[in-house]
């Protein structure tokens, strides 16, 4: 069917109108909004099934009367019906009020803001390093699949991906902090700084403390990135368009860089953006093992009480960061592959 003003015989293809991307965008934004609401609901009810009474935990070891316990429950709103606690929580969360921490007696938002820079520093550096390393090695191993380098890198990656991060962190502390045999202890066992330094000395001190936790995160993260990139590129290597590119006389490096890698990036981009979402969440186990003063360690402290407002607030921040990063990845897809969003 021809259209007015179009060349004879031209056919209007469905899904190629200019309204396709706005519909795609609206669908992704709507999905993100629904996911955020589901996070609010989950964060409220999930942590209320944790055994333990927050008031009893806070007053443990202190002489407290029943009247004082009732006063504390009333002060924290724990005496209200569950449905009323939920509606109050949702109303405050939508305005950015995440409540008051039970154990720290401070606004949850302020506590998160205080710990966020340390987490962004640690996990941000780790994500940049293992994403770059995984993409580079994943591309090289896939392009030369079956060779010695491919088998070696794939075996190491599979091993590291299966290793629990907390176990690897403890192993690194034993070897490089405590020292084993001829290997001396070279790095701190935990913390972010030794204290007392300023200027360049402070920067070097923080970098010294970061070596082992960053190495732990990079060792596990690069393995996942390498394996995903390798599998995605292997799927593309049998494509006819690569044969056509070679038939045109393009060098093998140009075929890989200009044609194969861009088409193999979509799954890897998804994973990289998910990892960027982890930047805000940090790594609870790694931060706990290395006593890193970030959001992961704060979550562990809150969970041990349980400090419900703080646990809920951190859960919302962690999940919200993942949803936002997934949304950004969805919005980036049409730029990488025009077929997406049509």
The 3-state secondary structure of the chain reads CCCCCCCCCCCCCCCCCCCHHHHHHHHHHHHHHHHHHHHHHHHHHHHHHCCCCHHHHHCCCCCCCHHHHHHHHHHCCCCCCHHHHHHHHHHHHHCCCCCECCCCCCEHHHHHHHHHHHHHHHHHHHHHHHHHHHHHHHHHHHHCCCCHHHHHHHHHHHHHHCCCHHHHHHHHHHHHHHEECCEECCCCCCCCCCCCCCHHHHHHHHHHHHHHHHHHHHHHHHHHHHHHHHHHHHHHCCCHHHHHHHHCCCCHHHHHHHHHHHHHHHHHHHHHHHHHHHHHHCCHHHHHHCCCCCHHHHHHHHHCCCCHHHHHHHHHHHHHHHHHHHHHHHHHHHHHCCCCCC
Query: How many CB atoms neighbour CB 263 within 10 A?
Result: 16
Whole-model pTM: value is: 0.72
Q: Which residues touch 330 (CB under 8 Å, ≥6 apart)?
A: 28
Share of the chain above pLDDT 70, in %: 82
Given a cut of 80, is residue 200 above it in pLDDT? yes
In this prediction, residue 329 carries a pLDDT of: 77
Per-residue confidence band for 278, with pLDDT thresholds at 50, 70 and 90: low
Given a cut of 50, is residue 275 above it in pLDDT? yes
In this prediction, residue 4 carries a pLDDT of: 43
Query: Which whole number is the average pLDDT over 56-77?
Result: 70
Given a cut of 80, is residue 71 above it in pLDDT? no
Given a cut of 50, is residue 17 above it in pLDDT? no
In this prediction, residue 180 carries a pLDDT of: 78
Per-residue confidence band for 338, with pLDDT thresholds at 50, 70 and 90: low
Given a cut of 80, is residue 214 above it in pLDDT? yes
Q: Which of 26-30, 33-37, 42-46, 167-171 has the lowest mean pLDDT?
A: 42-46
Greatest mean pLDDT among 5-9, 87-91, 127-131, 330-334 lies in 127-131
In this prediction, residue 193 carries a pLDDT of: 82
Residue 85 or residue 10, greater confidence: 85
Query: Which whole number is the average pLDDT over 173-182?
Result: 83
Given a cut of 70, is residue 98 above it in pLDDT? yes
Per-residue confidence band for 325, with pLDDT thresholds at 50, 70 and 90: confident
Per-residue confidence band for 32, with pLDDT thresholds at 50, 70 and 90: confident
For 56-83, b/e burial (b = at least 16 CB within 10 A) is eebeeeeeeeeeeeeebeeebeeeeeee
Query: How many CB atoms neighbour CB 48 within 10 A?
Result: 14
All structural domains of the chain with their residue ranges: 109-336
Given a cut of 50, is residue 112 above it in pLDDT? yes
Query: Which whole number is the average pLDDT over 290-297?
Result: 86
In this prediction, residue 46 carries a pLDDT of: 73
Looking at the domain 109-336, which fold is it?
Answer: MetI-like fold (1.10.3720)
Per-residue confidence band for 60, with pLDDT thresholds at 50, 70 and 90: low
Give me the residue label for tokens 């390498």. 226
Given a cut of 80, is residue 218 above it in pLDDT? yes
In this prediction, residue 108 carries a pLDDT of: 86
How many angstroms separate the CA atoms of 201 and 160, rounded?
A: 33
Per-residue confidence band for 67, with pLDDT thresholds at 50, 70 and 90: confident
| Under 8 Å between Cβ of 32 and 323 | yes
Query: Which whole number is the average pLDDT over 284-294?
Result: 85
Give me the residue label for tokens 């907390």. 166
pLDDT, tens digit, for every residue of 178-197? 877 777 778 888 888 877 67
Greatest mean pLDDT among 97-101, 155-159, 196-200, 323-327 lies in 155-159
Mean pLDDT of the chain: 78
Given a cut of 50, is residue 6 above it in pLDDT? no
Per-residue confidence band for 340, with pLDDT thresholds at 50, 70 and 90: low
């Amino acid at each position: 069917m021809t259209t007015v003003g179009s060349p004879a015989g031209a056919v209007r293809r469905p899904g190629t109108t200019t309204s396709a991307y706005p519909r795609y965008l609206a669908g992704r934004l709507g999905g993100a909004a629904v996911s955020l609401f589901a996070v609010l609901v989950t964060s409220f009810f999930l942590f209320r099934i944790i055994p333990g009474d927050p008031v009893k935990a806070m007053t443990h070891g202190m002489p407290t009367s029943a009247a004082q316990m009732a006063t504390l429950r009333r002060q924290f709103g724990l005496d209200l019906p569950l449905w009323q606690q939920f509606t109050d929580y949702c109303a405050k969360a939508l305005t950015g009020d995440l409540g008051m921490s039970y154990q720290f007696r401070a606004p949850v938002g302020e506590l998160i803001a205080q710990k966020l820079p340390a987490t962004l520093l640690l996990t941000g550096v780790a994500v940049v390093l293992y994403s770059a390393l995984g993409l580079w090695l994943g591309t090289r191993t896939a392009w030369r699949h079956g060779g010695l380098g491919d088998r070696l890198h794939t075996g190491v990656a599979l091993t590291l991906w299966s290793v629990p991060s907390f176990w690897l962190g403890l192993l690194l502390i034993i070897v490089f902090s405590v020292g084993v045999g001829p290997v001396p202890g070279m790095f701190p066992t935990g913390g972010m700084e030794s204290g007392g330094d300023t200027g360049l000395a402070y920067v070097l001190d923080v970098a010294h403390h970061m070596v082992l936790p960053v190495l732990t995160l990079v060792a596990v993260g690069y393995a996942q990135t390498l394996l995903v990139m390798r599998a995605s590129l292997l799927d593309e290597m049998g494509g006819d368009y690569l044969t056509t590119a070679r038939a045109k006389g393009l060098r093998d490096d140009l075929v890989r860089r200009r044609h194969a890698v861009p088409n193999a990036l979509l799954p890897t981009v998804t994973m990289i953006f998910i990892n960027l979402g982890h930047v805000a969440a940090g790594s609870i186990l790694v931060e706990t093992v290395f006593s890193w003063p970030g959001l992961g360690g704060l979550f562990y402290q809150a969970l041990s009480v349980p400090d419900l407002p703080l646990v809920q607030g951190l859960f919302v921040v962690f999940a919200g960061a993942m949803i936002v990063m997934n949304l950004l990845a969805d919005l980036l897809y049409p730029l990488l592959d025009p077929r997406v969003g049509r």
